[in-house]
Amino acid sequence: MVFDLPFYDHMNITVLVVDDDPIFLSIIPNMLKNPSYKDTSFGEITVMTANDSSEAVHKLIGECNNIDIVITDYHIPGLNGLQLKKKIKEEFGNLPVIGVRVFLPTYRTLEHLHRSNP
C-alpha cells in the first residue's frame, strides 16, 4: 500500500471507486486519470470499480495489498458508505476511505463535464 511507505514522487496508486450509478463509476475514474485533474506527484493511477458494498469487500479481500484508497458513495446497496468505511477499518486496518454524497445539481454538473471531456 502506498500510504504504508515513505512518500516518493511518482508512486503508482490504486483507487477503488464504489457506487451503484454507472455514470458516476465512469466519471470518477476518468477524472482521476485525466491529466488536467491529476496531481503530477503521482505516477500511474489505476482505478477499480465496485457496484455495491459486498463487491467492494470482495475486491478488497482479493486485492488488499494493492488498493491504496477507497472512494465510496454514501447511498450504495448493502452497507451504506459509513458502514462500509467501518467494515474496511475492522477488516483491513487504516485504509483511507473518502465518502461522497452526490446531490442532483452536482450530479448533473458532473454528467455534463463527463460528456464534454470524453
pLDDT in tens, the chain (118 residues): 545 555 555 688 899 999 998 888 888 888 888 877 777 777 888 999 999 999 999 999 998 789 999 999 998 999 999 999 999 999 999 899 998 876 555 555 555 555 555 5
Query: What b/e sequence results for 75-112 when a residue is b if at least 16 CB atoms lie within 10 Å of its CB, and e otherwise?
Result: ebebbbbeebbebbeeebeebebeeeebeeeeeeebbe
- The domain ranges of the chain are 2-116
Name the CATH topology of 2-116.
Rossmann fold (3.40.50)
